[in-house]
A and B are shown apart, each in its own frame.
Chain A
Amino acid sequence: MARAAGHRRRSERRRFLKELARLAAVAGLAGLGLAGHGRAVQARPAQALRPPGALPERAFLGACLRCGLCVRACPYDTLRLATATGPVAPGTPYFIAREVPCEMCEDIPCVAACPSGALDPGLRDIDKARMGVAVLVDQESCLNWRGLRCDVCYRVCPLIDEAITLEPQHNRRTGRHAIFAPTVHADRCTGCGKCEHACVLEEAAIKVLPERLARGRLGRHYRLGWEEKAKAGGPLVPGLIDLPDRVPGGMP
């Protein structure tokens, strides 16, 4: 009698464990599939920019509730929600600068509307937003680089003369004119996309890219000699002989 009960209990336990293992296997497989999909989605297309104050992509995908309150709060209909079939994680907000750029509202209503903090409420100055970095991706088609005075990207920049400057240089094609090269300063650029939106070319020569694509980074061990010298207040190697620099003839 007791043996039969023990036997039944054991076989019940065995069945329970078997079912538990089956469910765990299904959970594992589902999780694995999802995780693979999740990684693919994290490589968001470069032209899809996140709203101001968005956390780094991975953290953003963990924090965003997909409620669309930022989209509703945007007065210029810049932001939209990703659809279920697009390349951007479904339900998350993004904008395409070439279509509708960010107008950089001073009160940042999208950030104020975010209930979760996926758009960082610590962002109070829209000039500190980093939605991406503008890059003049194609000098060859840029009108200013061809010696014309288009200047449109420079003129529309909300941080004119800070985020984009015009750097004059010699025009070697005509020999006697200047090229006013539009130059982006990444430390000031918010990535609003006004320049990309306004570029007069059929395909914009200046584009806002996510920071990971737009920027290079110096190796951490790297030191710039002249900066170190200024910091130390003199040459780092004492008694170094300073030979005259060889410059091409005619240069000062």
Chain B
Amino acid sequence: MRRMPGRAAAERRGWLAAHKWLLARRASQAAVFGLFLLGPLAGVWILRGNLSSSVVLGTVPLTDPFLLLQTLLAGHAPELTALAGGALVLAFYLLLGGRVYCAWVCPLNPVTDLAAWLRQRLGLGGGGGRLDPRLRWALLAAALGGAALTGTALWELVNPVSIVQRGIIFFLAPAAWVALAVFLFDLLVVPRGWCGRLCPAGAFWGVVGQAAVLRVTAPHRERCDRCMDCYAACPEPQVIRPALEGPGAPLVASGMCTNCGRCIDVCPQDVFRFGTRFHGKTMTAGLPGGREETT
């Protein structure tokens, strides 16, 4: 029997407890799109627009800072509405973690999560490494540099994230093909290929997340028995090791962590918690295997 991350935790703490952050994320994603769709479907306009830019209850503007940055580099001086909206969204993610967007809002997250889950179920292997995860920095540079050099928001011509979210909110059928392409890419070509290796929006949010306040912490890392479930479940497994094995505070410090909370869910030893970047620093929990922390 293949070891599925989360099964041990579910046996120990119950299915619901071992899936609570996953369910919360699905609820969050559904709520975001539900609020947008209430307008066209029921005439209740709580959120108008789409994830690129929107208006809450006809008053509060929200704008995607990554897109705003592209238009700024393209040489356009946006109206105050868009700038204010961008500042609001940026402040929100600086608090909760940049890539909270990826795990809690982005419509491609359930798609790539499904691909990753299927990969594990079907035993397609999670190896990967066939694409350098730093490629996303190259794509981020291409998106921003391209905007600056051509004066148009180049990345938006192909950006699957915005194509899919817009497709859902405005009922544009071809977006389904784009989502399917990303799904097949992740399932058959490169594990965690899109979100973990290529997406420049994820890279952008990773930079924001570097400074974010909300963090996954490992206050009970001495309990870790190296079952590797968290690594198997994590969409960015490289971020876990420093928190778990030190040196340094028991804190996921990398901005690439999406704060998806999957490690908290799947850990049978209940090692992880959500915390802030500050209280992780002052903790001096013992390291697994009896080693003492030196910092």
B239 within 8 A of partner (CB)? no
Q: Does A121 contact B163, Cβ atoms closer than 8 Å?
A: no
B142-150, B212-220, B221-229 - the one binding chain A: B142-150
Q: Does A66 contact B177, Cβ atoms closer than 8 Å?
A: no
Docked pose: A203 CA to B67 CA in angstroms: 40
Known: A31-B145, A66-B166. A26 touches B135 (CB 8 A): yes
A112 to chain B, nearest CB (A): 10
Known: A41-B157, A90-B157. A84 touches B71 (CB 8 A): no
How many residues of B sit at the interface, in one of the four size bands? Answer: 35 or more
Docked pose: A67 CA to B163 CA in angstroms: 11
Q: Annotate B131-165 by CB proximity to A: 1 below 8 A, 0 otherwise.
A: 01011011101110111011111111110001100
Highest count of chain B CB atoms <10 Å: which of A63, A65, A121: A65
B-side contacts of A118, CB under 8 Å: 76
Q: Does A69 contact B53, Cβ atoms closer than 8 Å?
A: yes
Q: Does A23 contact B134, Cβ atoms closer than 8 Å?
A: yes
Known: A27-B139, A84-B167. A61 touches B153 (CB 8 A): yes
Q: Does B63 contact A115, Cβ atoms closer than 8 Å?
A: yes
B-side contacts of A63, CB under 8 Å: 71, 74, 76, 78
Highest count of chain A CB atoms <10 Å: which of B74, B139, B142, B151: B142
Q: Does B82 contact A65, Cβ atoms closer than 8 Å?
A: yes
A32-40, A162-170, A187-195, A230-238 - the one binding chain B: A32-40
Q: Does B173 contact A83, Cβ atoms closer than 8 Å?
A: yes
B18 to chain A, nearest CB (A): 37
Q: Annotate B56-81 by CB proximity to A: 1 below 8 A, 0 otherwise.
A: 00000101100110010011111101
Docked pose: A67 CA to B49 CA in angstroms: 5
A-side contacts of B175, CB under 8 Å: 83-84
B-side contacts of A71, CB under 8 Å: 170
The A171-191 residues at the B interface (CB cut-off 8 A) are: none
Q: Does A38 contact B152, Cβ atoms closer than 8 Å?
A: yes
Known: A62-B71, A65-B64, A72-B39. A31 touches B135 (CB 8 A): no
Docked pose: A67 CA to B62 CA in angstroms: 10
Q: Does A58 contact B178, Cβ atoms closer than 8 Å?
A: no
Q: Can you pick out 25 interface pairs between chain A and chain B where the beta carbons lie within 8 Å of each other?
A: A23-B134, A23-B138, A24-B141, A31-B146, A34-B154, A34-B155, A35-B154, A59-B76, A62-B151, A62-B152, A64-B71, A65-B71, A66-B52, A66-B67, A66-B156, A67-B52, A69-B53, A84-B163, A84-B177, A85-B174, A91-B166, A116-B63, A116-B71, A116-B82, A117-B79
5 nearest CB pairs, A to B = A62-B74, A67-B53, A61-B152, A63-B76, A30-B142
| Additional A-B contacts beyond A28-B142, A63-B76, A83-B172 (19; CB < 8 A) | A19-B134, A23-B138, A26-B138, A27-B139, A30-B142, A37-B154, A37-B157, A38-B157, A59-B75, A62-B153, A63-B74, A65-B53, A65-B71, A66-B67, A67-B63, A90-B156, A114-B79, A116-B53, A116-B76
